[in-house]
Amino acid sequence: MRKLAVARLWYEGNSFSPIPTELSVFEAREYFEGSAAKDFYRGTKTEIGAVVDFAERSRDWSVEFLLCAAAPPGGMMAQDAFAMIRDTILDGLGRDQWDAVYLSLHGATVTEATPTPELELLQAVRHVIGRTPLAVTFDLHANLGAAMIDLVDIAIGYKTYPHIDMAEVGARAVALAVETVEGRIRPVCALAKVPAILTSFNMRTTDGPMQELAELAGEWRRRDGILDASIFGGFAYGDSPFAGASALVTADGERALAEDAAQELAREIAARRDRFTVTLPSAAEGIAKALAAPGNGPAAVVDPADNPLSGGIGDTPALFRALLDAKPKVPTVFGFFFDPALVARAHREGEGATLDAKLGGRITDAFGAPIAVKARVLRLTDGKFRNLGPMEHNLPVDLGQTALLEVKGFQVIVTERCQTPNDPGYFALHGIDLDKVGLLCVKAKNHFRAGFTPLTRVIVDVDCPGPAASNLRHYRFKHAPKSLYPLNQ
């Protein structure tokens, strides 16, 4: 029986966030090995969920689940956390001889010590496994470099944003690894970079320039000899020498074909560069626009600059301040503020208690001063639910303890852990019936649309100060090439 080793390090790091991400953040979300990993991911629409399905269907392959670690995007990963995960994966790989290895990576990890830790991991993995076939998957927002791709045999990325095809991508990577071991294909990879850092505000694959690029990549995937073609928008807030968009193609034995396809797709990305730049309304303008929208269901206002899945800190107050100023006359929910101390106070005082509190500006006042409020505790939870929507469907989520507060008639969710309200289960946990909500204000971005487009009458993105704002000139890049647009302007 052949042997497949599987491991995961999935983390997107914002180089400009003030909060480093420690090992405990991974342990609180995904940090599993062996049978515990199989149990956790079974039935989930994730890469490792797809591998569990393969392992339980296959009679010819034995699958070993080494460390599978993931954390919500945030600030730079603590170096000791990366070292622990890297060394655990390497120790597992060194325990046996493998016929193939599959790594589920993000591609935009940065640590306190290095802007390219995934290159370091791939180099170390290749040293341990020799010429064993190595398949790797990446997030659509990966910052990829040729040095990384030179180390792998199979490399493919998500095709959708919001990312609802994680399981399909993981299944495809494993299938190609199996075909490689069985001698049916000879994969070769080619990467072509685009000299631009693109923000992801207008990067959804459901419309606009990224939809067009996704269709072009799909045309290449249907050509003879092409095993995969993936478009990568890159992660704008990851300060890396590999920053910027790219195209990645895996072909069957024909390097020239892979290179031609990657270069052609990179040219198509470059031709659409300016269409990824957007101008967003202010928070006040966005709230007014949302409230005026016709139709049924809540109107949603989204603050992408403090989206935790872009490295936001769940602490900026601008959208909430605009909400207080607007005084909407409809049932309103604000999700969320990340404030463990306030959550602990609410749990000590209990439901029904009234608290003097400050919302936002706790971590830093660089994006706005705290807002003093009187808050009544409406509901307390343990923060645990499973995703109901299409992204990471059925994956367990743990927000830590949470509190639902009432502030000036609005419902405000406060959490112990900083995680985006991207799934309807987030609100169901707090007893919120979205059918009865008129205005929903959230710290989120495009992934929010996967679960909430069918549930809302309009979704309006707004421009607020935060760690992931649309104007990249707010940030001081140290590692990204100065030749990249817009750094060269």
Q: What is the mean pLDDT of each run of 10 residues along the chain (489 residues)?
A: 98 92 95 97 97 96 98 94 98 97 98 97 98 98 98 98 96 98 98 96 93 98 97 97 98 97 98 93 97 96 93 95 97 98 98 97 94 98 96 92 97 96 96 97 93 96 90 88 93
Phi then psi dihedrals of residue 79, to 5 deg = -65, -35
What pLDDT, on the 0 to 100 scale, is given for residue 18?
A: 84
38: tokens are 């199989």
Per-residue buried b or exposed e for 27-48, using 16+ beta carbons within 10 Å of the residue's own CB? ebbbbbbeeebbebbeebbbbb
Distance (Å, whole) CA 453 – CA 214: 20
Q: Which two tokens stand for residue 11?
A: 């983390």
d(CA 315, CA 301): 16
As a whole number of angstroms, the distance between CA 440 and CA 220 comes to: 40
Burial class (CB in 10 A: 0-12, 13-18, 19+), 440: buried
Residue 185 in 3-state DSSP? Answer: coil
Q: Is the peptide bond before 162 cis (omega within 30 degrees of 0)?
A: yes
What is d(CA 192, CA 154) in angstroms, rounded to the nearest whole number? 15
**Whole-angstrom Cα distance, residue 397 to residue 41?**
12
Residue 359: beta bridge partners? 371
Sheet containing 410-415: order of strands = 354-359, 371-381, 402-407, 410-415, 332-338, 439-442, 299-302, 458-461
| Dihedral sign of CA atoms 288, 290, 294, 298 in order | negative
DSSP class of 76:
P
Residues present in the chain in total: 489
DSSP assignment string, 368-413: ---EEEEEEEEEEE--EEE--SSTTTT-EEE--SEEEEEETTEEEE
Nearest CA among 100, 98, 159, 83 for reference residue 135? 100
Contact status, residue 244 vs residue 197, Cβ threshold 8 Å: yes
Report how far residue 26's alpha carbon sits from residue 89's, in angstroms, rounded to the nearest whole number.
Answer: 14
Q: What one-letter code names the amino acid at 49?
A: G
Q: What is the structure's pLDDT at 423?
A: 96
Q: Mind giving me the DSSP string for 49-96? A: HHHHHHHHH-SSEEEEEEEEEE--SEEPBPHHHHHHHHHHHHHHHTTS
For residue 37, the number of C-alpha atoms closer than 13 Å in the C-beta half-sphere is 25
Residue 370: what pLDDT? Answer: 97
